[in-house]
């Protein structure tokens, strides 16, 4: 398990359309300097939300949106931007009223600030506080129309203005509604509910006198009172007499394992990078409350900082961030965990098989396992012994590692592949990649034992080569992977005790269909196109992260990919809806619900990718 710089490059191509350049850029040398460490991504801590200092300006936000957000979310916020087809997850439909009516502006401000790396969305640290609020304000306008606002204004003037004033500034009979801070934490549904049911004994409800459409329209209009079309320069905060030259990084280390606390005298290390060179290294003691601080740090444009801690033999990482003259002081929390050697919480998000021929009678198989840890302890064996065990198919020989992959964390035994690198809690927190050879004589029956739950399997083999068949396999057609045409096949969920079975039959073709064997660099670039890489460029030690369920903070959850007229996709969407109904009715436990729903969503996405061909 390791950090693959080629995968970082692959994902960079995906995120170009999101204009991450200019925010946080990864130092290229880090892949070499820390090659012995597993791929990790820290906890995405909710951004501290400060109420807007001035009313957000949607008109100013539109320019930012069209430049930074439209390539993925689309010009009207329908999730249909020019880059959306290349992303592994469909972008959120910001302009869909059903999607956005429960969203609080502060939620979207937080996402704009820190991103959603689990959804391949970067944060935009280069935007000022007011710019983030402006783009949020514009995004919120995408889900309404001028007609709705006009209707809402009429209802407001007839029903609400006598207490709240025509401009929403409030009167002795009712509070102000136009304060940006007041609306930042209220969704359209919140305002709609207040208009329907009233607010305690202070405000009556209007469910009997206004229609649903009228109450919805007035909710959108009330939100618009917190926006402005022009910025009042007189209300802007006074500029500092001189820009800050120094900054500080503070944080708090916590133990993310339920019921556990930090133990022992601990230290944190601060690392700073300018481009590909490490230029800062400092150490600080951790206080009894977990706090730490690094003061008097030079503010250098583009310099990236991060904090690490060695805790019970395992290195943990904070987010990556940079200081600026407008934000000279930043907070970098750090979460560590207790360890366990019990592998019951392991889940395989996806297993990828890539077939090629090194000779007319030799099939080379590259396997990429994307692993998750559903517990709240880091999975690690005592004294570095491996805990994760992946059986190999019978007859596998010549086991090795593609390209620049390191063998430090993998061992080949009679039982298969043993992984000794730690697996951190969260979704998609580790990846294992290796290859092996199998004999081929115009036909091969491939069978591999499954020891952990697998969400989905993807198999790629050179177009024009052997045919793949087997129960449950779906042929999604030909896709380009790193400049090579591959036949793309998918298989649904597998469970421990089952076997992964398939049959290849037909002529192997010329020796080395990809030029003498599997080309890791070509495949790595292609994996980004297929949405198979989990490394996000820009935050150089990130992994897609989720807190344990009890601690998880939900913000915006994208719906499953829309049906495109394909009966199979429609069937999967109906299965997701039925599953949601069962969960709401208490028929299924949350853990099983989330696992099955994730597998169905991946299946829907695979089918949709097949349509794109």
**Same domain flag for 489 and 356:** yes
Q: Within a domain: residue 574? A: yes
Counting the structural domains of the chain, the total is 4
Pick from 216, 193, 215, 196: nearest CA to 204? 196
Q: Tell me if residue 61 falls in helix, strand or coil.
A: helix
CATH number for the domain that contains residue 525: 2.60.40
Neighbours of 343 (CB within 10 A): 16
DSSP H helices, 160-199, are: 161-164, 180-184, 188-197
Domain stops at, among 483, 515, 530: 530
Asked if residues 500 and 491 have their Cβ atoms less than 8 Å apart, the reply is yes
Cα 510 from Cα 93, distance rounded (Å): 46
Neighbours of 283 (CB within 10 A): 10
**Same domain flag for 465 and 373:** yes
**Same domain flag for 181 and 283:** no
**Same domain flag for 180 and 257:** no
Asked if residues 459 and 601 have their Cβ atoms less than 8 Å apart, the reply is no
**Same domain flag for 600 and 577:** yes
**Same domain flag for 471 and 573:** no
Q: Within a domain: residue 319? A: yes
- DSSP count for the chain of H helices, then E strands: 15, 23
Asked if residues 382 and 396 have their Cβ atoms less than 8 Å apart, the reply is no
Asked if residues 328 and 244 have their Cβ atoms less than 8 Å apart, the reply is yes
Cα 183 from Cα 104, distance rounded (Å): 8
Q: Within a domain: residue 335? A: yes
How far CA 527 is from CA of 73, 464, 481, 486, in Å, comes to 22, 20, 7, 11
**List of residues 6+ apart from 17 with CB closer than 8 A:** 71, 72, 81, 82, 83, 86
**Same domain flag for 359 and 496:** yes
**List of residues 6+ apart from 134 with CB closer than 8 A:** 56, 57, 58, 60, 61, 64
Dihedrals phi, psi of 432, to nearest 5 degrees: -125, 130
- Residue 255 confidence (pLDDT): 96
Q: Within a domain: residue 422? A: yes
**Same domain flag for 461 and 603:** no
> Ramachandran region of residue 394, left (φ > 0), alpha (ψ -120 to 50) or beta?
beta
Neighbours of 93 (CB within 10 A): 22
Asked if residues 358 and 511 have their Cβ atoms less than 8 Å apart, the reply is yes
- Residue 46 confidence (pLDDT): 40
**Same domain flag for 335 and 365:** no
- Residue 584 confidence (pLDDT): 58
Q: Tell me if residue 63 falls in helix, strand or coil.
A: helix
Domain stops at, among 294, 324, 340: 340
**Same domain flag for 189 and 260:** no
Q: Within a domain: residue 13? A: no
Average pLDDT along the chain, 613 residues, taken 10 residues at a time: 32 34 35 31 42 82 88 89 76 89 88 71 74 90 92 91 84 81 85 88 88 92 78 37 72 95 94 81 93 88 88 90 83 94 92 88 90 93 85 91 60 85 88 90 94 93 90 88 78 95 82 44 40 29 28 30 53 70 61 71 62 47
Domain stops at, among 187, 211, 235: 235
Rg (CA), the chain: 26
Q: Within a domain: residue 114? A: no
**Same domain flag for 427 and 522:** yes
Asked if residues 425 and 373 have their Cβ atoms less than 8 Å apart, the reply is yes
**Same domain flag for 475 and 565:** no
Q: Within a domain: residue 505? A: yes
Pick from 505, 353, 500, 512: nearest CA to 435? 353
Q: Within a domain: residue 211? A: yes
Domain, as residue range, for 571: 560-612
């Amino acid at each position: 398990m390791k950090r693959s710089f080629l995968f970082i490059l692959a994902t960079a191509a995906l995120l170009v359309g999101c204009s991450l350049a200019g925010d946080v850029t990864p130092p290229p040398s880090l892949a070499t300097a820390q090659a012995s460490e597993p791929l990790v991504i820290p906890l995405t801590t909710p951004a501290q939300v400060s109420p807007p200092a001035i009313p957000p300006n949607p008109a100013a936000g539109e320019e930012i949106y069209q430049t930074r957000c439209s390539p993925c979310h689309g010009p009207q916020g329908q999730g249909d931007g020019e880059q959306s087809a290349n992303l592994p997850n469909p972008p959120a439909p910001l302009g869909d009223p059903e999607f956005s009516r429960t969203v609080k502006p502060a939620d979207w401000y937080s996402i704009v600030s820190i991103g959603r790396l689990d959804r391949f969305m970067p944060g935009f640290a280069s935007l000022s506080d007011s710019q983030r609020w402006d783009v949020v304000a514009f995004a919120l306008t995408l889900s309404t129309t001028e007609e709705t606002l006009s209707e809402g204004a009429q209802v407001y003037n007839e029903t609400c203005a006598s207490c709240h004033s025509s401009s929403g500034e409030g009167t002795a009979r009712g509070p102000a509604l136009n304060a940006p801070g007041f609306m930042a934490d209220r969704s359209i549904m919140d305002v709609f509910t207040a208009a329907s049911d009233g607010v305690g004994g202070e405000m009556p409800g209007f469910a009997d006198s206004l229609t649903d459409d009228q109450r919805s329209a007035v909710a959108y209009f009330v939100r618009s009172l917190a926006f402005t079309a022009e910025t009042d320069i007189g209300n802007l905060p006074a500029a500092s007499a001189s820009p800050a030259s120094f900054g500080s990084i503070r944080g708090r280390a916590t133990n993310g394992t339920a019921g556990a606390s930090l133990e022992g005298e601990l230290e944190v290390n601060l690392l700073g990078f300018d481009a590909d060179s490490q230029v800062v290294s400092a150490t600080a003691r951790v206080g009894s409350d977990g706090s730490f601080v690094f003061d008097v740090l030079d503010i250098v444009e583009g310099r990236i900082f991060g904090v690490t801690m060695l805790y019970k033999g395992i290195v943990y990482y904070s987010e990556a961030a940079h200081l600026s003259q407008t934000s000279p002081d930043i907070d970098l929390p750090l979460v560590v965990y207790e360890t366990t050697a019990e592998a019951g919480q392991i889940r395989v998000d996806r297993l990828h098989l890539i077939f090629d021929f090194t000779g007319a009678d030799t099939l080379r198989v590259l396997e990429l396992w994307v692993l998750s840890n559903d517990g709240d302890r880091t999975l690690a064996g005592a004294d570095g012994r491996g805990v994760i065990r992946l059986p190999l198919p019978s007859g596998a020989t010549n086991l090795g590692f593609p390209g620049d992959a390191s063998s430090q964390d993998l061992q080949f035994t009679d039982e298969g592949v043993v992984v000794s690198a730690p697996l951190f809690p969260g979704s998609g927190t580790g990846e294992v990649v290796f290859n092996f050879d199998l004999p081929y004589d115009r036909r091969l029956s491939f069978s591999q034992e499954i020891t952990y739950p697998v969400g989905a399997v993807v198999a790629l083999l050179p177009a024009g080569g052997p045919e793949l068949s087997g129960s449950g396999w779906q042929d999604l057609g030909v896709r380009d992977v790193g400049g090579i045409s591959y036949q793309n096949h998918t298989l649904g969920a597998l469970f421990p005790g089952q076997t992964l079975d398939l049959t290849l039959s037909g002529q192997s073709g010329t020796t080395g269909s990809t030029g003498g064997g599997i080309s890791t660099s070509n495949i790595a670039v292609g994996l980004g196109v297929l949405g198979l890489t989990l490394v996000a460029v820009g935050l150089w030690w990130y992994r897609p992260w989720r807190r344990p369920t009890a601690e998880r903070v939900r913000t915006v959850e994208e719906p499953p990919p829309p049906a495109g007229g394909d009966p199979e996709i429609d069937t999967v969407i109906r299965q997701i809806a039925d599953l949601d109904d069962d969960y709401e009715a208490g028929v299924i436990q949350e853990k099983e619900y989330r696992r099955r729903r994730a597998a169905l969503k991946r299946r829907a996405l695979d089918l949709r990718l097949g349509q794109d061909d």
